[in-house]
Chains A and B, each alone.
Chain A
Amino acid sequence: MTLHVRVNGTARDINAGPEVRLIDVLRDQLGLTGTKEGCSVGVCGACSVLVDGEVMSACLLPAVLVDGMDVTTIEGVAAERLEEAFITEGGFQCGICTPGQIVSAVALLMAHPRPSDAEISDWMTGNLCRCTGYRGIERAIKKAVGE
């Protein structure tokens, strides 16, 4: 069926049956390869995207469920301060988890503009990183809040 989805602010017509996942649409149909498929089971968070402002796993979301909604990917988030902080605070090394980390952090700061340590920890749980040991990511988020 034809879905009408706003992706990063642009209205798009997407052809997808109920077996197609949002990540397939983003990467294969729209060429938005910033969203990464890490585990395919919604655990690692590398595929985090925003749907109507709420963070979700694109690998678990049937595309038919975002018909009529706003999808924001790493390519479309307004996160300059965060991205700058990730660079200065060592929030990434290989970069594979980074799009997911940034999208999740953007959602966190939208919901909690001045998050406590516990809120950061709870929210970012499930955005796995094999390289940094997480401290750089935490520092980056706190730096982005602090400015």
Chain B
Amino acid sequence: MSAEYHEPRAWDEAVATLQEHGDDALVLAGGTAYTLLLRQGLIRPGHVIGLRRLPGAARIDADAHGGVSIGAMATHTQALRSEAVREHWPELGAALAKVATIRIRNQATVGGSVAHADPASDAPVMLCALGAQAVVVSGSERRRAPVDELFVDTFTTSLAPHELIHSVEIPGRTPWTRAAYLKYTLRSVDDYATVSVAVRAEITDGVVEQLRVFLGGVGATPMRATSTERALRGRRVEPRALGDAAALARNDVDPADDVRGSAAYKREMTRVFTERALRSVLA
């Protein structure tokens, strides 16, 4: 294989190159998933489009409301070390810090993690719970899409073939916002999650105003624990009710048997870790 390598200097140039080569082109962000797929012989692109020279692609900014924008080409390490994330969304930083090892975090990008849509990965699950939006570039157009609507299947997003993720935007927070990411690994600490749980809650006067609960590793995409959310949203926080609410999450997941656990085990761990996650933000 001897593919042609492109390093566009502008976003619309990147999109145009993608469009020109269609099926024969693949995008290269950090390169971790790309290298693995290449070595496995599962991809054989004729054209590789590297995004590292795109202006502002790794930029990380915060606004006055604690909203943070993370450029698609920012690595996990750049994101978690950034002042914006440390100050406004340390829980996201903590979630990113749980990814694999320092070497992977130094290389893999946040945008790449979203675009690759590996259901066992960490960033997508946490970004879904936080209510993040992806800024998507298609030509000279930009549109925003809720991250939780991007994931349609294993390794599959709803992005059109020529579209690129420009950045992810995490909304602002209030003094009564709580968030957490729990990752359960079975074999070694740097593994993918057997089950992971991401929670974002807004609690005022002891009442759960908003609640988002997403799970990783237990379906083809990050799975939303809508049953759990419904049981708790709008109600006073009752420590005794959290166990039952967590148990409902078992109905919202679709785990598969694999080396990280049987489907039945993952379903049970969904209950266990959803309860722990709920207790960490609500109790």
A: which residues have CB within 8 A of B?
1, 17-19, 21, 40-43, 45, 48, 51, 54-57, 59-62, 64-65, 104, 107, 122-123, 125-126
Contact = CB atoms under 8 A, between A and B. Distances in A.
A136 to B, nearest CB: 20
A57 B5 contact: no
A116 B254 CA distance: 40
B48 A126 contact: no
Interface stretch (B9-17, B83-91, B95-103, B272-280): B95-103
Residue of B31, B35, B38, B102 with most chain A CB atoms under a 10 A cut-off: B102
B121 to A, nearest CB: 14
A125 B190 contact: yes
B167 interface: no
Given A126-B100, A126-B102, A64 B107 contact: no
B103 A65 contact: no
B3 interface: yes
Given A17-B5, A57-B107, A126-B190, A64 B101 contact: no
Given A42-B100, A43-B101, A62-B34, 19 more contacts: A17-B2, A17-B5, A18-B3, A19-B3, A41-B36, A48-B103, A59-B35, A60-B31, A60-B36, A61-B35, A61-B107, A62-B28, A64-B28, A65-B31, A104-B102, A125-B101, A125-B190, A126-B104, A126-B190
B146 interface: no
B35 A64 contact: no
Q: Which are the 7 A-B pairs with shortest beta-carbon distances?
A: A126-B101, A18-B48, A18-B5, A54-B106, A57-B103, A62-B31, A60-B35
B270 interface: no
Contacts of A107: 102
Contacts of B240: none
A61 B77 CA distance: 16
Contact of A55 (B2, B30, B106, B190): B106
